């Protein structure tokens, strides 16, 4: 099996590439100037919609497209910036992949396509409700990919993960890891929400399952550790895993939001305090798959 991976130098891509390379012939498509793991074949190129990737794509059975312009809190990026990378570049890559005979295109999307919060778990079949530029661009890419699949016969697999965590995780989870390690007294002990997360090991396992599973063709999969947890309890587990005693103060969420609004951090607090859960029954039944590690084990590996 010959696999081409984009985004192979990112948080997910590094773990994914090192795992795939043990069983498949792997090629990375990376940006110019990227640092690539030794002994893995790589092509460096400008990642724009005007580039012809046909020669790089030719001969591969599967493309895993993990490269993206990620969501950034309080970013000044506009929708057009996200669209250029997450939609238009994806469309060009997929069209060229189909033209040179790639059999399957796996697209790493986001649970944000479903929405940013909920009171009951999101399902794969729910009507999309993207609210942020990043998720809007990913949803547009999904629509384009499904059209390409119908027109060309290339199989498309869409995977929508919630927040991905693990050692060295960037973004919001990286912030939580730092807070757990420093163990300052935090006013986060009264957040009684429910959130789904996915360890990087579980997400990588699902992606690899989708490389050649016959039932994965033209499906959309949600993924998580299949265990939901409040932000307060997550911080407690992280702090304990870091070898510290949790020190969380039960400050009302309404007061936290007020303070956050005053200092320009409203979006971050909204993310920490709102609920977002996913139903992965479709994923488990379709692929006969279950997360190979538990939430507790995933947290332990953050500090291994």
Quick check: helix, strand or coil at residue 260?
helix
The residue ranges of DSSP E strands in the chain, in sequence order, are 2-6, 25-31, 41-45, 62-65, 104-108, 155-160, 163-165, 195-199, 220-222, 228-229
Diameter of the chain measured on Cα atoms: 58
Q: Check 53, 82, 133, 134 and give the catalytic one.
A: 134
Joined together, the tokens standing for residue 201 give: 């090991």
Given a contact cutoff of 8 angstroms between Cβ atoms, the answer to whether 61 and 112 are in contact is no
CA-to-CA distance for 52 and 146, rounded, in angstroms?
21
> Sign of the CA dihedral 105, 8, 10, 180?
positive
133 assigned to active site = no
Q: Radius of gyration of the chain from Cα atoms?
A: 19
- Smallest CA-to-CA distance from 3 within 43, 51, 57, 44 is with 57
Q: How many CB atoms lie within 10 A of CB 84?
A: 15
Beta strands 62-65; 163-165: pairing state: unpaired
Report CA dihedral (155, 30, 292, 195) to the nearest 10 degrees: -90
Cite the active site residues. 134
């Amino acid at each position: 099996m010959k696999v081409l991976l984009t985004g192979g130098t990112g948080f997910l891509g590094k773990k994914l590439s090192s795992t795939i390379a043990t069983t498949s012939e792997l090629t990375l498509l990376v940006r110019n100037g990227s640092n690539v793991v030794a002994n893995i074949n790589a092509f460096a190129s400008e990642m724009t919609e005007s580039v012809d990737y046909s020669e790089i794509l030719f001969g591969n059975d599967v493309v895993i497209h993990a490269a993206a312009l990620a969501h950034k809190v309080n970013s000044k990026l506009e929708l057009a910036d996200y669209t250029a990378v997450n939609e238009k570049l994806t469309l060009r890559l997929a069209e060229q992949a189909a033209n040179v005979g790639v059999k399957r295109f796996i697209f790493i999307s986001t649970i944000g396509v479903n929405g940013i919060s909920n009171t009951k778990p999101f399902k794969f079949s729910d009507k999309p409700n993207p609210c942020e530029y990043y998720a809007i661009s990913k949803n547009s890419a999904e629509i384009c990919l499904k059209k390409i699949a119908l027109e060309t016969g290339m199989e498309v697999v869409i995977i929508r993960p919630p927040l991905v965590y693990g050692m060295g995780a960037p973004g919001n989870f990286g912030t939580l890891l730092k807070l757990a390690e420093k163990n300052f007294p935090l006013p986060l002990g009264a957040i009684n929400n429910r959130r789904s997360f996915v360890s990087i090991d579980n997400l990588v396992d699902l992606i690899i399952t989708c490389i050649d599973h016959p039932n994965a063709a033209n499906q959309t999969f949600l993924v998580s550790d299949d265990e939901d947890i409040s932000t307060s309890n997550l911080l407690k587990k992280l702090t304990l895993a870091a070898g510290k005693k949790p020190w969380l103060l039960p400050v009302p969420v309404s007061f936290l939001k007020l303070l956050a609004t005053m200092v320009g951090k409203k979006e971050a607090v909204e993310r920490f305090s709102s609920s977002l859960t996913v139903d992965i029954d479709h994923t488990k039944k379709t692929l006969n798959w279950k997360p190979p590690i538990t939430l507790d084990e995933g947290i332990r590996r953050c500090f291994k």
